Structure formats: structure tokens, C-alpha cells
Amino acid sequence: MERTPAMPLIGEKLPSFEVQTTKGRIKLPDHYKGKWFVLFSHPADFTPVCTTEFVAFQRRYEEFKELNCELIGLSIDQVFSHIKWVEWIREKLGVKIEFPIIADDTGRVACALGMIHPSKGANTVRAVFIVDPEGVVRAIMYYPQELGRNIDEILRAVRALQISDREGVAMPANWPNNELIGDKVIIPPATDEQTAKERVKKYECFDWWFCYKSL
């Protein structure tokens, strides 16, 4: 099925953008080649919910970096506003924001990535794009302006995607605290009868199509 060019979907390459950030000009996704990164938009600088999110992202920044994952924020504010807001957060809250923030004052990047939803106003909603080391979009999340994100869930998603890639497995709901199998992971379903018979002998299974193992 053909699709009109629009925002990238899961499994597609993130479009190439040259952007102005609080750390200088960079080109995405090339700047992070070989690394995972989380590109997230916020509605506006100097707003309460966004401030709590930036503090929460920064508090977990080292955990993201341990996963070879960088953070980069975005809003349609100018870079001068970003710089002043970051200064305010450091001076008033004692938190130094170490990751860059894109100043998308023309809205070019936000529009291309579907971050502006007209029924929710002219500012960006709270979008999240998780991008892998090859520049491929692996997960997309959207939240309205009135709902702050759960940063631990974004961190969990990055960790889970990396394990899925490395082990060739799927991750259950609420992993690593799933109600049925705890911190175990799901084996992809068999695609032929012989493999289906072997699966139930090799792994723990509820049935041949639902087998799981420990990492």
C-alpha cells in the first residue's frame, strides 16, 4: 500500500535535519551514529510540567548513557529561550541540564515529525522518538500537554529494545515485572510444526505458541 510522505513510522529511518541546539549546530541522525538516542519534544520553555520532565530526564541521564543512549530535547522556542531556561533550572533547582535542546523556532522539524497537533494548540505535544544506532525509529510515544511523561518507561523501552535485538526475543507487558512470567522473555512463536513440537521440550511454555526463558 502506498503512503503519502509523512512523519517516519516505526522501522523507518529518521529524516535528516540540521538543527540549532544549545550545544551548537548538529545534523540528525548522523550526529549520534553508533548510538541510540531519544528525541523528545516539549510544549514550551518556562512551563511547570516541562520543567519537571527536564529535571527527571537529567536525573536519569547517566542511566541512559550506560545504555549507549543520548537525549535531545526540542521545542519551537528560540535558542535564547532554551539557554535562559536551562540557566533558571540550574540556578533555582540546582540541576544542570547536560543534554542539548533543539531550537526549532520555524517548526520545520516538529511538523515533519508530527509533533504539532492543531487541536491541541500551536505548540508541540510531548512526543518521544527512540532511534537506534543506524538512525532507525524503533518506538514512538505521544502525550498531551497536560500529561507529563514517565521517564522510567522511556528508559525501560530503550533497555527492552536493546535486549530484544541482542537476544532475538520479545518483551512481555510490564517487563521486567510481568504478571505471568516475571522478568523472563518471550521466544518468538514457531512457524512450522516440527519447531512447535521442539519448543515445548526446550523452553518453559504455556503452549507451543507461548514459550519463554530467562535471560
Angle between helices 151-167 and 48-59 (to 10 degrees): 40
Q: Are strands 126-131 and 137-143 parallel, antiparallel or unpaired?
A: antiparallel
Q: How far apart are CA 49 and CA 145, in angstroms?
A: 8
The rounded radius of gyration (Å) of the Cα atoms in the chain is 20
Which residues are CB-neighbours of 11 under 8 A, at least 6 positions away? 136, 137, 138
Q: Answer for the pair 187, 202: CB distance below 8 angstroms, yes or no.
A: no
Q: How far apart are CA 131 and CA 79, in angstroms?
A: 24
Active-site residue among 50, 69, 111, 205? 50
Q: Determine whether 50 is an active site residue.
A: yes
Eight-class DSSP state of 126: E
Rounded to an integer, what is the distance from CA 186 to the centroid of its chain?
A: 22
Cite the active site residues: 50
